[in-house]
Structure 1
């Protein structure tokens, strides 16, 4: 079984500080896992404690061994990107134009938007996007 073999007192202090101060629950769990592994807990015990797959525990340990604390922190830009983004002016303009052209007919607005953007969106996605824009009359 694999365990974290060496932690300096400074690293242990940093891990404990992150556990007590961070709002990031995932990072907190990763730091706890590294400390528990160093204290001798086996992977099976860690899997049971953190309710994650064995591969996750090994990934956390490998990340620690490669880059220490910085490697445990998720990089920005992960996850599913929005189909409609209020930061993209072309999306905002297409939706506004569609509402001007098809006032009151949400289905036609949706159809128009879906022909103009690369990823088709659902009725609910369009509704949430419009809510973010706070387009009057919608």
Structure 2
């Protein structure tokens, strides 16, 4: 069995702060698993608590050992990419001035670079976000 043990008080306080105020559920779970391991809870018990595999918990421990707390958060670039981003503001402004929302969506979807199709709902949220 592997444990994370002998954490100093500063690290324990930082992990407890993350557990209470962390941005994402995954980050809070990783921090809590490190604290539980420091208290002597086995990996199997931690797996049951978080409903994760032993491999996943071991990966959390490995990441923590590499770079401590900085390595617990998700890597940049994870998750679904947005259909429209900040670079599209000028394009959308020009299209929406002369076209309806549906026509604007069709024009944007004709671009070959689009990973995700732009729907009217996505376009409405985008317009609201950037107050166009």
TM class by shorter-chain length?
Answer: 0.7 to 0.9
1:121 to 118, 121, 129: 118
Q: Say which of 92, 105, 118 aligns to 1:110.
A: 105
Matches within 5 A, 1:96-107: 96-102=93-99, 105-107=100-102
Q: Which of structures 1 and 2 has the bigger CA Rg?
A: 1
Paired residues in the alignment total 129
Residues 18-37 of structure 1 aligned to structure 2 (within 5 Å): 18-20=18-20, 22-24=21-23, 25-37=25-37
The structural deviation recorded for 1:76 is: 4.4
Contact 1:94/1:116, CA 8 A, preserved across alignment: no
Deviations 1:11-69 (A, max 9, x none): 3344334435x343433322221121122212121011122333321111011111112
TM-score, reference length from structure 1: 0.74
* SS of match in other structure, 1:128: helix
Identify the residue that residue 66 of structure 1 maps to in structure 2.
66
Alignment partner of 1:93: what SS?
Answer: helix
User: Take 2:12 and 2:105, find their aligned partners in 1: how far apart are those partners?
Assistant: 54
Gaps of 5+ in 2: none
SS at match of 1:58: helix
- The residue that corresponds to 1:131 in the other structure is 128
Task: Tell me the distance in 2 between the aligned counterparts of 1:26 and 1:112.
Answer: 38
Task: Label 1:97 to 1:12 Cα distance change in 2 as closer, same or farther (>3 A).
Answer: closer
Q: CA contact under 8 A between 1:98 and 1:109: conserved in structure 2?
A: yes
